[in-house]
Structure 1
Amino acid sequence: MKGIWDSLDRNRNNSGNEGGGGATQAKHLGKQLTDALRLHATA
């Protein structure tokens, strides 16, 4: 399971390099989604 989180984190970090307000917003939403999934999966 950990490999999935590592992959999501890597994708999230990479998306920040594309720049633009939309990319930043999507990155933030992606972080919230990833954190929520992680919390749910470990609960």
Structure 2
Amino acid sequence: SLENKIKTLPISRKKVQEYVRWISSSASEEFMDQQGRVTIRS
């Protein structure tokens, strides 16, 4: 999943936060959370 990819990337927490904000600012994106539910960030 995207979340697991972020966790395994050799980048700093700050970069992860910037990436999450970038995703959140884009068009609505769907994600699967750890329980398998689809979440939408708008």
Structure that is richer in strand per residue: 2
Greater relative contact order (CA < 8 Å, ≥ 6 in sequence)? 1
Structure number with higher helix proportion: 1
